[in-house]
Amino acid sequence: MQLSGKTIVITGANSGIGLETGRELARGGATVVMACRDLARAKAARADIAASVPGAKLELVSLDLASLASVRACADTIKNQWPRIDVLINNAGLFPFKKQLTDDGFEMQFGVNHLAHFLLTQSLMPALLAAGRPRVVNVASMMHHLGKLDFDSFRGEKPYGPLKAYAQSKLCNVLFARELARRHAGDGLLSWSLHPGPVGTNIMGRGLVNRTLYRLIGAYMSAKRGARTSVYLASADNIEGTSGAYYDEFLKVKPGSKLSQDTALAARLWQASESLVAGA
C-alpha cells in the first residue's frame, strides 16, 4: 500500500515495538501520529526517528491509557487535526507485577491493554471510516493462548496474578480484532491482531531488574524485528481477505486459541466493554 499521504496513529510509539513501527512507516512516507503518555520521551523518540528518516512526518499527541478521560481527549484532538485516519495501531501495553488500578478503577492490564484501546478505536471511528479502507492493528501476544475471560475480574475484584491478567488482556485483544472485523465487514474497515514475537521491550517496566528478568524468560528479539508484523499489516497489499485474523511474527495467519475463535464470547466482551466505558 502506498503510504505517502496516509495518516497512521500509533499508541505507545515512544519506545520498543511502537518506536520501530513508527520509524518504518515514516520511512514509507506516512504521517505518523505518536500517541504517548510521556511526552518528554515521545519528543526524544521523534528526534530519534527524524535523525534516521530525513523528512519524516511525525506528530505527537498526549495519551494516558490508564485514564478514559485522557483517551477521549486524545481522540478529540486527533479527529480535529486529522479528520481522516488510514491506520490505527493499538500497540501500547504493560505487564505490572503488582496489582494496580486505572484512574477509572479497572485492573490495570485489562484497562490499558484492552479497554482503553477499545474506547480509542470507537472514538476514532468517524475519522477511520472517512479513509474508506481503514485498518486497525492490535498488538496481542501468543500468551493469549493461556487466557480466559473472567468478567468478574475487570475491576480487580479477584486475587491478582500478573501472568493471568496479561493473558486475559491479550485474549481480549484477539477477540476485539475479530469482532471489530465482523461488525464492520460491510463498510470497508479491516482489523487484525498479531503476536510480535519474543521482543525485549519495557512492557514489565523500565527498571534494570524487570528488564533483565523479561529477557531471561525468553524476550530476546529486537524491537525492530518485532515491529515487522505491525508494519506488514499496516501497509501490505492483498491481505484484505484475512480481516479479523490473528498473525504470528512470521507474517502467517494462525488460528489462535480456541477461546479466541469463540464468536459468542467476542460479542459478550464487546457488549461488556461498551457498558464499562459508558459508565466511566
Question: Where in the sequence numbering do the catalytic residues fall?
Answer: 166
d(CA 280, CA 266): 21
Q: Residue 131: what are its φ and ψ, rounded to 5°?
A: -80, -15
Return the number of other C-beta atoms located less than 10 Å from residue 47's C-beta: 10
d(CA 25, CA 177): 21
d(CA 68, CA 150): 21
- Residue that is written with C-alpha cell 501520529 in the block: 33
Residues of 54-90 as b/e, b for ≥16 C-beta within 10 angstroms?
eebbbebbebbbbbbebbebbbeebbeebebbbbbbb
Beta bridge partners of 191: 136
Q: What angle do CA 170, 112, 235 make, to 5 degrees?
A: 65
